[in-house]
Structure 1
Amino acid sequence: MTHSAFTAPGRFWRGNLHTHSTRSDGCLEPAEVCRRYRDEGYDFLALTDHFVGRYGYPITDTRPFRAPGFTTLLGAELHSGPMENGELWHILAVGLPEDFTPPDVPDFRARPGQETGPALAARAVAAGAFVAVAHPQWSGLTLADARSLSAAHAVEIYNHGCAMGCERPDGAALADLLLTEGRRLTLIATDDAHFTEPDHFGGWVMVKAEENAPEALLAALKRGDFYASQGPELRRIARDGDWIEMDCSAVTAIVLQGAGTAATALHGASMTRARLPIERFRESPFLRVTIRDAAGRRAWSNPIYL
């Protein structure tokens, strides 16, 4: 059995799913944000401005900035409240329709009677969006919060803006707890770029689709036909009986992770393939692969369900 991201028809397309512009709190106009990602070699971009009344509930129209070899997906970062810590939810919604009904969120303060985050996420999914839990470590998201967000497709395992701005980039622990409980989730890496600090071009997804078109990319995201990366490439992950086999770009560490303490790792120089036993994962409902290169950059597979 080979992971579907490596057997699906098409090729891999590189894209960023979380970015801001002057339509909310970013410092660059939408056209310039799109130009920078295009000229940095990205195949697609979702510009996801903050969907609050202060900014006019923007779903930024980036269609005029599409070009040969570069496309965009419409989306927004949705907010409502409160989470357990009393603050607003941050919910990434990619593929959101322009007429999506806003919640009553005039600014970044939670107020009594607001639509709940789980209800807002469910509405976005029903409207056709790919929905992800944004920067759980930065937000102070609790496990109870995460459990309640049952409609989400994915968790941000890495947020580059949060890495640069506050050293809280991680979503791995929360994602693994949810996966251990049986949730079917995928893992995305994003920039969350505002271009006010070095928060850009640091985390992305590689999506396997037959064409670089919004509908094809969105469908592949929902199927889980992608992996997340800061630079290293995953090229094949397959289960062969009691073993996991994989091919990748040159790395110094290859790690299998599962529920609880289930993990096994291989270390070396310029490794491009591995064959690792899954004996330690017999009681785990899932396993996933993380690779790390000599510069410390990582790539993360989506879970393989056992």
Structure 2
Amino acid sequence: MNRSRKVSFLICIAVLTFALAGITDAQIAAQTTAQTSKPPLRWWKGNLHTHSLWSDGDDYPEMIVEWYKGHGYHFLALSDHNILSHGQKWVDAAKSRGGMQAYEKYRARFGSEWVQQQDENGKLMVRLKPLSEFRHLFEEPERLLLIQSEEISDKFGKLSIHLNATNLRDLIPPQGGNSVLEVMQNNVNAVLDQRKKTGQPMIPHLNHPNMGWAVSAEDLARVQGERFFEVYNGHPIVRNYGDADHPGTERMWDIILTQRLAELGGEIMYGIATDDTHNYHAQGSDKANAGRGWIMVRARRLTPESLIAALEAGDFYASTGVRLKEIRFDGGRLSIEIEPEAGVTYTTQFIGTRRNYDKRTEPVG
């Protein structure tokens, strides 16, 4: 039986059942349409790593969201350090990271009725709006989704170990641990435990592994339940490309996949690209600016549930500029189709590890 005939047969059974129950023709039509029609798969562009004045970014969250929406993003995770944008938080406008420049732009854009401010012993204090108060200004079905997130900022000794938790419900404090691996594992477990307890889809991903040379590929490969890491991060201090003694993040990705799939019997680790945006006023290679790295997720709906399901299925790609029309994988063959730009030449490389590889690990330098 071919697929079209099978679908028709199932619809006929449904119609017969409804008729026997006294259901009207209109109700039958509505029910069968709901059962058989789905929104088409499409690509959604988003950034999962963004900072604001709630931690160490230099702009107000509404200004940040407006930039991303205006530049064609469909989803944005606001992920400040060890905090969710809940409750009351006031900043000194002059001493905040954005200073009076950020305040004046914010007030000019949103007006005195929206901006809450007060004088405190001669200081101009401005209230940061929580996500729940401003999301209605920007969110639109199938146009923009804002996702509550957190950068869980932990450490082992002097090594900074950060993980983003996307679509969190409740704040997760840094979990600590007795090794780099244990710190990562404890924080991943905390995210997955909250997901299990709440039933809300959420995912952890490891941030900038080469920042401070904190995380090795070998350690990251062994974190159970961690399926994503930043193969590209747009912050200028994170050392995406490694050095003479440390592999770059693309090489780390190959090591992680090889160890997981060939030696550890683990799950695929997916690479994502993010902005890790902090700086919204001054532009430059020494600034953490917006628009440097993103992911394109193929899903039917612009919801956290649909996006996370697609991410976990690997139906997405990370980019710093190239756009793809199509990605196809049939279990044995991977193919891509690039959306070309005029005057641009493209080189495509498929990188992997051959069978019978040398399993020894040793320093790069």
TM over 0.5: yes
For 2:209 and 2:139, locate their aligned partners in 1 and report how far apart those are by CA, in whole Å.
33
For 1:228 and 1:77, locate their aligned partners in 2 and report how far apart those are by CA, in whole Å.
19
Partner of 1:150: 224
Query: What SS class does the counterpart of residue 296 from structure 2 fall into?
Result: strand
Kindly state the Cα deviation for residue 21 of structure 1 after the two structures are TM-superposed.
0.5
Partner of 1:95: 167
Q: Which has a greater percent of strand?
A: 1
CA contact (8 A) 1:159 1:191 kept: yes
Partner of 1:203: 293
Partner of 1:185: 269
Q: Structure 1 residues 39, 126: CA separation in 2 closer, same or farther (over 3 Å shift)?
A: same
CA contact (8 A) 1:48 1:59 kept: no
Q: State the AA in 2 paired with 1:45.
A: L
Aligned length: 240
Q: Which stretch shifts more, 135-144 or 232-241?
A: 232-241
Normalising by structure 2, we get a TM-score of: 0.59
**RMSD over equivalenced CA pairs, Å:** 2.9
Kindly state the Cα deviation for residue 234 of structure 1 after the two structures are TM-superposed.
2.1
Q: Which stretch shifts more, 170-179 or 231-240?
A: 231-240
- Are 1:62 and 2:131 matched, yes or no? yes
CA contact (8 A) 1:186 1:224 kept: yes
For 1:48 and 1:111, locate their aligned partners in 2 and report how far apart those are by CA, in whole Å.
25
Kindly state the Cα deviation for residue 157 of structure 1 after the two structures are TM-superposed.
0.9
Partner of 1:172: 250
For 1:242 and 1:144, locate their aligned partners in 2 and report how far apart those are by CA, in whole Å.
27
CA contact (8 A) 1:193 1:199 kept: yes
Kindly state the Cα deviation for residue 224 of structure 1 after the two structures are TM-superposed.
1.8
Partner of 1:123: 190
Partner of 1:132: 205
Q: State the AA in 2 paired with 1:130.
A: I
Partner of 2:73: 42
CA contact (8 A) 2:210 2:249 kept: yes
CA contact (8 A) 2:85 2:131 kept: no
For 2:225 and 2:331, locate their aligned partners in 1 and report how far apart those are by CA, in whole Å.
33
Q: Unpaired runs of 5+ in structure 1?
A: 1-7, 52-56, 263-281, 285-306
1:99-123 Cα offsets, whole Å, 9 max, x none, are 2442368xxxx999xx833111111
Kindly state the Cα deviation for residue 195 of structure 1 after the two structures are TM-superposed.
1.2
Query: What SS class does the counterpart of residue 118 from structure 1 fall into?
Result: helix
CA contact (8 A) 1:72 1:214 kept: no
For 1:171 and 1:191, locate their aligned partners in 2 and report how far apart those are by CA, in whole Å.
15
Query: What SS class does the counterpart of residue 147 from structure 2 fall into?
Result: strand
Q: Structure 1 residues 127, 59: CA separation in 2 closer, same or farther (over 3 Å shift)?
A: farther
Q: State the AA in 2 paired with 1:258.
A: G
Query: What SS class does the counterpart of residue 50 from structure 1 fall into?
Result: coil
Kindly state the Cα deviation for residue 9 of structure 1 after the two structures are TM-superposed.
5.0
Larger radius of gyration: 2
CA contact (8 A) 1:207 1:220 kept: yes
For 2:329 and 2:70, locate their aligned partners in 1 and report how far apart those are by CA, in whole Å.
37
For 1:156 and 1:31, locate their aligned partners in 2 and report how far apart those are by CA, in whole Å.
25
For 1:62 and 1:218, locate their aligned partners in 2 and report how far apart those are by CA, in whole Å.
20
Q: Which has a greater percent of helix?
A: 2
Partner of 1:255: 349
Q: Unpaired runs of 5+ in structure 2?
A: 1-38, 87-129, 196-201, 242-247, 281-286, 358-365
2:325 to 235, 241, 259: 235
Q: Structure 1 residues 75, 139: CA separation in 2 closer, same or farther (over 3 Å shift)?
A: farther
Kindly state the Cα deviation for residue 142 of structure 1 after the two structures are TM-superposed.
1.6
